[in-house]
Amino acid sequence: MRVGTVGARTDAGVNRAIGAYNFGKFDGSDLSTLRNTLQRSLPSATTSRHTVHVLVQHFGLTFTNNRGACLALIDWCVVDGPFMIASERFYAAYDTGDKLFGTETLGMTKNRVLHAAAARIAERSLAAANGLPTPPPPKFTFDDPMSANASLPQHMTAAVRSGIVGAVVQQTMLGGLEGATRLLPDPIPPTPDWPSLLK
């Protein structure tokens, strides 16, 4: 299996910071992580007829100063020369949980989602290329948006910083102290026209 295009829809990365500085939006370095993880997960074969292509449609992050949640919408396909043999849309989601101390960083949160996505694409593309049954979904991956969203918090509350000044900064400059997570894209992007994209 060869890794072909690994791309993202324009403005796929969407951040929502609540009581925290807004940084860490999905970007080219995260795409590189996905590509590299996928390449390491697949057996290398320079003469393989099969190529897997990936398109990240949405990568939403909502976070406070003590919690992070992420939801990604990803499409992929496998081609054998000019023929498409499999394609899929799936969702990957992860929530760090509400932790006052020892919470995971945004980078760690994104990597959990990216590694889960790479595992699913690698396992299922290899199965399709070899005519095998579809493997079960890896942890943190889902077949539909409702199941993915149900695994995530719908509301988050930031831990209040010490002192009046810290609380005022959070409330007025850093997205308030609480809010809805809104991780699903609205509207859901259409399924890609792979033959046109791969011309």
The percentage of residues in the chain with a pLDDT greater than 90, rounded to a whole number, is: 69
Which pTM does this prediction carry? 0.90
The tens digit of pLDDT for each residue in 53-112 reads: 999 999 999 999 889 999 999 999 999 988 999 999 999 999 999 876 667 889 999 999
Peptide bond into 133 cis (omega under 30): no
Residue boundaries of the structural domains of the chain: 2-193
Q: Which residue has the tokens 């890609």?
A: 192
Q: Which residue has the tokens 């043999």?
A: 85
pLDDT (mean) for 48-54: 90
The tens digit of pLDDT for each residue in 69-84 reads: 999 999 999 999 889 9
**Phi, psi dihedral angles at 159 (to 5 degrees):** -70, 135
Tell me what pLDDT residue 75 has.
98
**2-193: which CATH topology?**
Rossmann fold (3.40.50)
Answer whether residue 46 shows pLDDT above 80: no
**Which tokens sit at 9?**
């829809």
For strands 68-80 and 83-95, give the pairing. Answer: antiparallel
Strands, E, within the chain: which ranges?
2-8, 13-17, 50-63, 68-80, 83-95, 141-142, 155-157, 178-180
How far apart CA 68 and CA 63 sit, in angstroms, is 4
How far apart CA 6 and CA 55 sit, in angstroms, is 6
List, in order, residues 6 or more apart from 46 with CB less than 8 Å away: 2
Name the DSSP letter for residue 132: P
